[in-house]
Structure 1
Amino acid sequence: MSCGIVVALPEELSTLTRRKLVLGESHAIGDGIILIYSGAGPANAEKAANRLVQQGAKRLISWGCAGALAPVLRPGDLVLPERVRGNDQQDLTTAPAWRERVANLLASQQAVSAGALLESNGIVDQSAEKRTLFEQTGAAALDMESAAIGRVAASTELPFLVVRAVADPAAMNLPQAVVQALDANGQVKLGRLLAFLMTHPWELGGLVRLGIHFRAAQTSLKTAARQINEITQI
């Protein structure tokens, strides 16, 4: 059976393949493994997941980075949630036996967390908001795509797994330079970034810290990707 992997951002895509894909393009990376570059957000993720199902995927994975809500999580920690809480307050359950096997496989090399993942409609950039969400939901982390992929999996009765690495810790405020520079698909537009930094040079330190954290997340995903053939098997 083939496995479809949805990846939102080019930086996340690079942890699985060296090939440069255009938005919406899919690419086989192994025997029975197809990944697709979706772009950020639930609408893009839903469209990409449906396309993978149309291409014959019999199980789905949400792969990429997440923002931490739990204070104990550190940049680079992997989150393999048991469930994803959607904005409609419905829980989408990941395949239990599959998740447990993959968690055990990856835990020998890096920190792996379970718990819940929360759906976000947009970037949560302030630590105070992260703290409030953690207190209200108890979710370990959040992202914008996993719930949408989970809804497609539920509607098509396919098993579903989430593999996410923490990029920004719960106590970190995201630099406004990044928030202002992102386009609708989650890509940083260099022109916007440089223009913002020219008038807000104090943001540079936060950008450097975020870059370090994001590289830690990429490293964890690359480490996990070395076992992608084992991960994609149920």
Structure 2
Amino acid sequence: MIAVFFALSQEVASLKPHVNILKKIRHAHAVFYQAEFCGFPLTIVQSGVGRKVSDLIHQLSKHFRIQFMISSGFAGSVNPRVGVGDLVIGKHVLSPLSEVSEGEIRIGATLPCDAPAVELAVKLGSAASLQLHCGDILSVDKIIRQSSLKRHIGNQTSAIAVDMESFAIVERANAMGIPFIVVRAISDGVDEDMEICENMVTKGGGVDISATARYLLNKPHRIPYLNRLRKQTRQATNTLSAFFPNFITQIYNSLLA
């Protein structure tokens, strides 16, 4: 079985329309969607934001034989060549030694993605005429809001994009001997500040409507920014949606070979 991990409900929307949902299971704040894709078993995990996914993987592994893991969803660019809506395929996932700041950024651990899957993803993404980049992903503990810090990360490390979940997933996959890949789409560019608050997203990865409403009442000048971000996340969702069906089919073909 392939397990695809997303943090947010908006990210799940990139794959959900392509599959047949058989069962919805809640575990703590997360949601598991047991599904099938072209007759193949698939589990979509909506984990919520951050690195606390080890328990979810443990729960999955008790009930299913996981053959392949994918960390997906949105990512922030830290490289001027990587723009909004672009597809990013991870070569390695990096974890910093401490919270990322404008000072020196030291990498504490580096784990590789599955090389044959990376090669396949690049091939299929290019064939689909998607704007694609293959490189390292830095997993961080907090949203990187300032554009200056994004550029600093790009200058200080080999990363081309940042996310908040991939290292925890690849660390667990690596320990279990399960092949793993990062497939993400850029929702915010390197020169954009992220003017949002963590409490606008629920622990389960949904939109907290009341918190968002309070934020906009207090800061109505941010409405144009949120409208722009909504358009950009839709663009990122469309990119993932265009990529996933053929990729999942080919991964299952390789697993069955």
TM-score (norm. length: structure 2): 0.83
Look up the match of 1:182.
201
Please state whether the residue corresponding to 2:227 is helix, strand or coil. Answer: helix
| 1:78 pairs with one of 76, 80, 87 | 87
**Any conservation in 1 of the 2:5–2:71 contact (CA below 8 Å)?**
yes
Whether 2:210 is the aligned partner of 1:191: answer yes
List per-residue Cα deviations over 1:204-231 (Å, max 9, x = no partner).
1111111111111000011012323224
Aligned Cα root-mean-square deviation (Å): 1.9
Gapped runs of 5+ residues in structure 1? Answer: none
TM-score (norm. length: structure 1): 0.91
Look up the match of 1:144.
164
Look up the match of 1:132.
152
C-alpha displacement of 1:232: 4.7
Look up the match of 1:160.
180
Whether 2:65 is the aligned partner of 1:56: answer yes
Please state whether the residue corresponding to 1:26 is helix, strand or coil. Answer: strand
List per-residue Cα deviations over 1:189-215 (Å, max 9, x = no partner).
111111121121110111111111111
| 1:171 pairs with one of 175, 178, 191 | 191
Gapped runs of 5+ residues in structure 2? Answer: 98-107
Please state whether the residue corresponding to 1:62 is helix, strand or coil. Answer: strand
Look up the match of 2:74.
65
| 1:47 pairs with one of 52, 55, 78 | 55
**Any conservation in 1 of the 2:48–2:202 contact (CA below 8 Å)?**
no
Look up the match of 2:126.
107
Aligned residues: 231
**Any conservation in 1 of the 2:32–2:43 contact (CA below 8 Å)?**
no
Look up the match of 1:33.
42
**Any conservation in 2 of the 1:62–1:149 contact (CA below 8 Å)?**
yes
Structure 2: how far apart are the matches of 1:173 and 1:75? Answer: 13
List per-residue Cα deviations over 1:3-54 (Å, max 9, x = no partner).
21112111111111145955232312321322222111101x2222333333
Look up the match of 2:223.
204
Which residue identity lines up with residue 70 of structure 1 in the other structure?
Answer: N
Structure 1: how far apart are the matches of 2:205 and 2:16? Answer: 19
**Any conservation in 1 of the 2:69–2:173 contact (CA below 8 Å)?**
yes
Structure 2: how far apart are the matches of 1:71 and 1:53? Answer: 39
Please state whether the residue corresponding to 1:188 is helix, strand or coil. Answer: coil
Look up the match of 1:229.
249
Q: Tell me whether 184-193 or 154-163 shows the greater mean CA deviation.
A: 184-193
**Any conservation in 2 of the 1:80–1:103 contact (CA below 8 Å)?**
yes
